[in-house]
Amino acid sequence: MLTLLLVAHASAQPVRSPRLNAEAVLLLDADGRTIFEKNADVERAPASLVKLMTLYLAFESIERGRVDIEDVVTVSPHASRVGRYRMGLRTGEHVPLRVLLEGVAIASANDAAAALAEHLAGDEASFVDRMNTKGKEFGMAATRFANAHGLPDPLQRTNAKDMALLIARLLHDYPAARTLLGGQTFIYRGRVYARHIPLFDDPLGVQALKTGFTHEAGYNLAVAAWRGGQEFVMIVLGSRSRAQSFLDAKRVLRFGFVETGLDPPEPERVRPTKKSIRVRRAAQATP
């Protein structure tokens, strides 16, 4: 199990820190050691990273036999009215629980998260109580959940350290979540729901990822990568665009690979001096 002791990782060779757009970042290795951090303790809005706890409690309920993954969930008026992003669930509609799990993980569907919460706890408020209880059990001292989906609420707060702890626990305790959070498409009611994540196509070892966005939070990411037999967990909070969040994640992962010896350091680029430019031009002009 990942023992998330957030102690600094000392590299034998100093590596230039990545330039980032995000407000807060944390990269941990498999032992929970901090490879890189920026404002990891600063309070932020989690946006849809909240759904990591929703998924955790769903998997826990399945494991304990409280619900079955093939349960058919009846969509309530409340769940059908939850705002974007949505699967377009309708009041009274019957949806398999496994489809709601895909909707939460892949489409980040807020209506699916609300329907799942109600099925697991009777109503969303009771489910939120479970979320906060589990957060305290994990030691997520900076986190307060207010809903099951991550839409803005002034009470809903977290930081990068707590979110790193949460995704690490989810992936360790319920390995099926790795496959779910690594999915890019699913089909419901004849419609294909797809998410286009360039990090999955980059040779960085990214296998599980959850996005989040609100105007308040900015663009958030929770990422797990496996490379060279090593596991990395990363949180990116408050990037200014979706593309920038992926670029920040890529830069931090590459930094981590160098720090842990998986990749060699990139050679420093030496700026040419006026003298070297004149020498080069003279050499090129010589017949």
Catalytic residues: 48, 51, 108
Structure tokens belonging to residue 68:
């079955």
Beta bridge partners of 206: 225
The sheet that has 24-28: what strands, in order across it?
34-38, 24-28, 230-239, 218-227, 206-214
H helix runs in the chain, sequence order: 51-63, 77-81, 97-105, 110-121, 124-138, 160-173, 176-181, 198-201, 242-259, 274-285
Cα angle 235-137-230, degrees, rounded to a multiple of 5: 40
State how far the Cα of 59 lies from the Cα of 239, in Å rounded to an integer: 30
C-alpha 162: how far from its chain's center? Answer: 12
State how far the Cα of 246 lies from the Cα of 198, in Å rounded to an integer: 7
Cβ neighbours of residue 227 closer than 8 Å, sequence gap 6 or more: 204, 205, 257, 262
Structure tokens belonging to residue 76:
């309530």
